[in-house]
Structure 1
Amino acid sequence: MTEQTRRSLLRTGALTAGALAAGALAAPQAFAAAPLVRRDRPVLTHGIQSGDVTADSAIVWTRADRPSRMVVEISRDPSFRNARTYRGPLLTPDTGGTGKLRVSGLPAGTELHYRVTAEDGRATSEPLTGRFRTVPLGRSDTRILWSGDVVGQGWGINPDIGGMTPYAAMAARRPDLFLHSGDTVYSDGPLTESVTLPDGRVWHNIVTPEKSKVAETLDEYRGQFAYNLLDENVKAFAAAVPSYVQWDDHEVTNNWYPGEILDLPQYTEKRVDVLKQRAFQAFHEWQPIDAKRAVDGRVYRSFRYGRHVEIFVLDMRTYKDANTADQTRPGHILGDRQARWLVDGLNRSTATWKIVQADLPIGLVVPDGSGIEGVANALPGAPAGREAELAWVLHRIRNVVNVVWLTADVHYTAAHHYSPDRAAFADFSPFWEFVSGPLHAGAFGPNTLDPTFGPEAVFVHAPPAANTSPLEGFQHFGELNVDGASGALTVDLRDGKGSSLWSKTLRPERPGRHQ
């Protein structure tokens, strides 16, 4: 590091008190003790992550406890022989100490090891290491996991059970990629130190200051993401598996929509648009996503993953109309620009499978008091409300084969098949929607299916009571396995321990023929 760079780092000063608090959070004693570190050197406080991976690049993320320079090394060899070094951004209070770097010029379809350090001009942090696989170019066996809903409904990191163990179960599946379907945090869900279950057992939570109230300030939103990365299972998974991440409502507040004014006593800031901007900044600071890849510089974007897969990551929050809107009139869930982008992308795609990563389900009724939170409006007959926009999309992609929708949101797992033969609106082609969650939150469901698009619940695994705790076995994640030779797609809906609850293999269709 040059003397000029060292001086510029020293001039940035210490991190803010709030950011220091996030960095100083201690891991629970039940977890493996952290190795002794020199306190006169930078510390990477919340692990490392990779995301938005392509055939020749990936985003690498970390956070340091003081102003310092992020440095990333990439190698095919876990011993880091012949490693390539990338000098990243300064980690400063402006981003709460976080930073990310797109490492480029990488070989396609290759498992690579990465090592991250932080330099402050005087000392270098202890390194943290991880791995990711770049996107293959041709026909390749591929394993993709998806889920959502993390630390919701009062269920936080419980050291008595080893923390968020579904992440360890996912890591054991050795996936190439993880699709996070939203509700990555619960900014509106404060935690208490203990929760008494109906049978008298007691659930214990680790609680931090930022998780003791609803998030309103930027530092409080940052603290939501910092909390989840206290869990060793989460950190280990994030270091080993690249992700494509989207947001849903709880990154901001429950069931939010643009322009909403909250009528909730726990909030002093009632304007959702103000909260949204703070949450959006924290979300981008703490997730390994690349805003430059997004069409609007925010969330929605697409990725080609080899010969067989293309993934379309949606944003069903930023452009939706009010939950209180008249459900008999046409509404919006994607907005005109995103809807056209999705239609154009699906029609142009040459991938065998077109995966739509949605943060809300299509046919499940998700109420918001007397209003509607999701797409389905609970009214039989022709599409209306937000359904009208989805009907336009489905009509415009009716000649596109092998489109599969993935989501989480409703806190149970299900397989839905949509067919015009059962639908009030019939001008579309049949397709599958797979739902899987929660990853670590209260379990709910099942929700009512709206008949407009002819859904059939082929499989459902839901709890017997609302807000069933993670102890009861209703945590879920989904798995896609693509056979490189045949292109067949096998879907498994798994429980939080990794056991398959339901499985189906879909064979690629030719245009004009639908399953």
Structure 2
Amino acid sequence: MHLNQAVYLLSSFVVPMGVFSQELPITTTDVFIQSGEVSADSVVIMARCNSEEESSVSLFLNGEVQQEATVTNETDFTISFKVERLESNVRYTYSVQCTAISTAEARQEPLNSMEGSFKTAPAADDAAPVSFVWVADLAGQGWGRNPNFEITSVGGKTVSGGYVVFDTMEDLGPDFALFQGDMIYADNAIPASQEIPTGGNWTNNPTKDFVAVTLDDFRHNWKYNHGDEKMQSFLAKTPIFVQWDDHEVTNNWYPNEILVDPLYDENTPANRLYENSLRALYEFNPIEEGSSIFRSQKFGKHLEIFFLDFRSFRDPNPENEAPEPSAMMGDEQLQWLKDGLSSSNATWKILSSHDPLGIVTGGEGDRDSFGNESPEILGREHELKDLLAFIHDNDILGVVSLTSDVHFTAHVNMDPSRAEGGFTDFKPLDEYVIGPIHAGSFGPNFMDTSFGAIYEYELGPLTLGFERWANLPPSEFRLQSFGHASVDEDGNLTIKLIGIDGEVKLEKKLSPEVSNGGSNPSGASSMVFSHFIPLVSLFLLVLN
């Protein structure tokens, strides 16, 4: 979620929908590929024939044809293949070939993708080490693909042009990546030039001069980001798990909302945008058709990740400040999560979400996550209370939350000893917050105190002396970040919050014996800071 104030920065750049600049092409790749949803014995491989012709598509695995299909404009020339009966914890190579079919059905010269690779998950009882990254917030607030953007990594490597974060992450060689949400900004334009608040101008080339309404509009947003060469290289080597947040549709949306934003026609139903966005999400990402955004996946003996959908089943945002309970996950998803946590034998049970549990987001009357700036338990916090009580009552260990959304970096600890909402029967819970990877930076935000949440670490514009809502670009790379997590053979979990230049901002090591680090986790963890960032008290109204 982002500031309503930031919207005005973009409104002047909105022109008729569906128009891209011609200075640079959106993509130079003949065939786009990516993999995802890796399990111990399967993977989903997605491809797009960028010639945009009806084509025969062949999927090669380790050099042999596995599956074939035909793509048309019905799916914007995209296709996803599910490959099964694979071996666990093995790296495979793959490629995709598109052969255009002319009106006379004469075969044309085939177009070939780059070679991709993926590694299947370890078997459920295998204590093999696993590592992954988690990311969010790409090309928001007008900061798009800048061919002149350049950083020097902490290792001395110069990275130039476009989404440099993907080069940094690729060098780490993660087994997979979590794309938590806001991986497009369908409601944000990307102008040719945008003023940097601290001085100078940011250049976008290509541009994206529209907000998304139609199915093709949403598809174009994915094509814009997928056209970045560094992102393409990362995706070809790293399987992903895709979630979503609001900007895949529009800012802070909820089901059945009637939009009053001037970016849209009067009384535009959010559900219309939602339907188009969801279809584009499934077309342009390696997600099995018919599968749910909320699901879980085991990665060997020590790790299970629960991918949550905090967007599709929520009650209206204004209800989040009422005394009565309101939904964030909804009954079905909440029960699924409880069942999964209670039956999991993994050492670590990761909650992957696109909205934080304790940080306040959204303005008054539009609180977009659980927090609502009141110490009382209100609205969606009743659902969070239910979940925390379940974890406590069933003595479920090893629960850690990884999240994003707020455009600053943080480590948050929730502890019953500090809870102000009158409910204390819950285990301490740690939450690690990253982002943006390439968008405007804001915050840090006010913290809701109902469940005793505090910042153990925070890094945003305000902590470095800028305005809280500065909307600083990726060139202020100290404030752009992603997360990295790894589990070793003994079940020790290491979490790092890393800048897009590779600088480790925070490193925390957790042993499996004490999985829910509290206020004083006695020997359970060690923490490393790359530098000291002073904590700042936050008591101002947040419009995030």
Q: Give 2:46's match in structure 1, choosing from 18, 43, 61.
A: 61
Provide closer, same or farther for how the CA distance between residues 25 and 197 of structure 1 changes in structure 2, counting only shifts above 3 A. Answer: closer
The aligned residue for residue 113 of structure 2 is 127
Residue 242 of structure 1 and its aligned partner are, at CA, apart by: 0.5
Q: Give 1:359's match in structure 2, choosing from 354, 363, 371.
A: 354
Residue type of the partner of 1:172? Answer: D
Residue type of the partner of 1:166? Answer: V
- Is 2:71 the partner of 1:71? no
Secondary structure of the residue that 2:442 maps to in structure 1?
A: coil
The aligned residue for residue 510 of structure 2 is 506
Q: Give 1:322's match in structure 2, choosing from 316, 321, 332.
A: 316
- Is 2:95 the partner of 1:107? no
The aligned residue for residue 526 of structure 2 is none
Q: Give 1:427's match in structure 2, choosing from 406, 410, 425.
A: 425
Q: Distance in 1 between matches of 2:286 and 2:438?
A: 20
Q: Distance in 1 between matches of 2:28 and 2:289?
A: 33
Equivalent residues in 2 for 1:136-175, closer than 5 Å: 136-137=122-123, 138-161=126-149, 162-175=161-174
The aligned residue for residue 86 of structure 1 is 66
Q: Distance in 2 between matches of 1:270 and 1:402?
A: 43
Provide closer, same or farther for how the CA distance between residues 291 and 347 of structure 1 changes in structure 2, counting only shifts above 3 A. Answer: farther
The aligned residue for residue 6 of structure 1 is none
Secondary structure of the residue that 2:115 maps to in structure 1?
A: strand
Contact 2:197 2:472 in 1 (8 A): no
The aligned residue for residue 251 of structure 1 is 248
Contact 1:88 1:100 in 2 (8 A): no
Residue 369 of structure 1 and its aligned partner are, at CA, apart by: 4.5
Residue 437 of structure 1 and its aligned partner are, at CA, apart by: 0.5
Residue type of the partner of 2:111? Answer: S
Provide closer, same or farther for how the CA distance between residues 511 and 281 of structure 1 changes in structure 2, counting only shifts above 3 A. Answer: closer
The aligned residue for residue 191 of structure 2 is 192
Residue type of the partner of 1:470? Answer: P
Secondary structure of the residue that 1:73 maps to in structure 2?
A: strand
The aligned residue for residue 408 of structure 2 is 412
Q: Distance in 2 between matches of 1:491 and 1:111?
A: 24
Contact 1:147 1:478 in 2 (8 A): yes
Residue type of the partner of 2:40? Answer: A
- Is 2:368 the partner of 1:373? yes
Q: Give 1:332's match in structure 2, choosing from 320, 327, 346.
A: 327
Q: Distance in 2 between matches of 1:497 and 1:512?
A: 30
Secondary structure of the residue that 1:160 maps to in structure 2?
A: coil
More moved, 171-180 vs 320-329: 320-329
Residue 301 of structure 1 and its aligned partner are, at CA, apart by: 0.8
Secondary structure of the residue that 1:371 maps to in structure 2?
A: coil
Percent identical residues = 37
Secondary structure of the residue that 2:211 maps to in structure 1?
A: coil
Q: Distance in 2 between matches of 1:459 and 1:127?
A: 42
Contact 1:56 1:134 in 2 (8 A): yes
Give the TM-score, by structure 1 length.
Answer: 0.87
Q: Distance in 1 between matches of 2:86 and 2:349?
A: 25
Moved over 6 A (4+): 510-514
Residue 101 of structure 1 and its aligned partner are, at CA, apart by: 0.4
The aligned residue for residue 80 of structure 1 is none
Q: Give 2:214's match in structure 1, choosing from 206, 212, 217.
A: 217
The aligned residue for residue 284 of structure 2 is 286
Q: Distance in 2 between matches of 1:144 and 1:314?
A: 17
Provide closer, same or farther for how the CA distance between residues 400 and 199 of structure 1 changes in structure 2, counting only shifts above 3 A. Answer: closer
What 5-or-longer segments of structure 2 have no aligned partner?
A: 1-16, 102-106, 150-160, 522-544
Secondary structure of the residue that 2:131 maps to in structure 1?
A: strand
Give the TM-score, by structure 2 length.
Answer: 0.83
Residue 291 of structure 1 and its aligned partner are, at CA, apart by: 3.9
Contact 2:307 2:353 in 1 (8 A): yes
- Is 2:378 the partner of 1:384? yes
Secondary structure of the residue that 2:173 maps to in structure 1?
A: coil
- Cα-to-partner distance string for 1:271-305 (whole Å, 9 max, x where unaligned): 101110001111111111124442xxxx1111111
Residue type of the partner of 1:99? Answer: I
The aligned residue for residue 297 of structure 2 is 303
Q: Distance in 2 between matches of 1:150 and 1:367?
A: 19
The aligned residue for residue 9 of structure 1 is none
Q: Distance in 2 between matches of 1:257 and 1:340?
A: 21
Q: Distance in 2 between matches of 1:512 and 1:419?
A: 10
Residue 84 of structure 1 and its aligned partner are, at CA, apart by: 3.3
Residue 127 of structure 1 and its aligned partner are, at CA, apart by: 3.4
Q: Distance in 2 between matches of 1:372 and 1:230?
A: 34
Residue 428 of structure 1 and its aligned partner are, at CA, apart by: 1.1
The aligned residue for residue 448 of structure 1 is 446
Provide closer, same or farther for how the CA distance between residues 350 and 25 of structure 1 changes in structure 2, counting only shifts above 3 A. Answer: farther
Contact 1:331 1:385 in 2 (8 A): yes
What 5-or-longer segments of structure 1 have no aligned partner?
A: 1-17, 36-42, 76-82
Q: Distance in 1 between matches of 2:318 and 2:516?
A: 39
Contact 1:246 1:313 in 2 (8 A): yes
Structure 1 vs Structure 2 CA RMSD: 2.2
Residue type of the partner of 2:118? Answer: F
Residue type of the partner of 2:220? Answer: G
Residue 512 of structure 1 and its aligned partner are, at CA, apart by: 11
Residue type of the partner of 2:61? Answer: I
Contact 2:24 2:206 in 1 (8 A): no
Residue type of the partner of 2:55? Answer: S
Residue type of the partner of 2:300? Answer: G
Q: Distance in 2 between matches of 1:199 and 1:302?
A: 42
The aligned residue for residue 396 of structure 1 is 390
The aligned residue for residue 236 of structure 1 is 233
Contact 2:59 2:96 in 1 (8 A): yes
- Is 2:480 the partner of 1:475? yes
Contact 1:422 1:453 in 2 (8 A): yes
Residue type of the partner of 2:250? Answer: T
Residue 27 of structure 1 and its aligned partner are, at CA, apart by: 3.9
Provide closer, same or farther for how the CA distance between residues 372 and 199 of structure 1 changes in structure 2, counting only shifts above 3 A. Answer: closer
Secondary structure of the residue that 1:416 maps to in structure 2?
A: strand
- Cα-to-partner distance string for 1:83-121 (whole Å, 9 max, x where unaligned): 332224321111111111011121110111111111235
Residue type of the partner of 2:45? Answer: V
Provide closer, same or farther for how the CA distance between residues 312 and 512 of structure 1 changes in structure 2, counting only shifts above 3 A. Answer: closer
Residue type of the partner of 1:117? Answer: Q
- Cα-to-partner distance string for 1:161-214 (whole Å, 9 max, x where unaligned): 111101111111110010111001000001110012234311101244xx2111
Contact 1:358 1:407 in 2 (8 A): yes
Q: Give 2:492's match in structure 1, choosing from 481, 488, 491.
A: 488
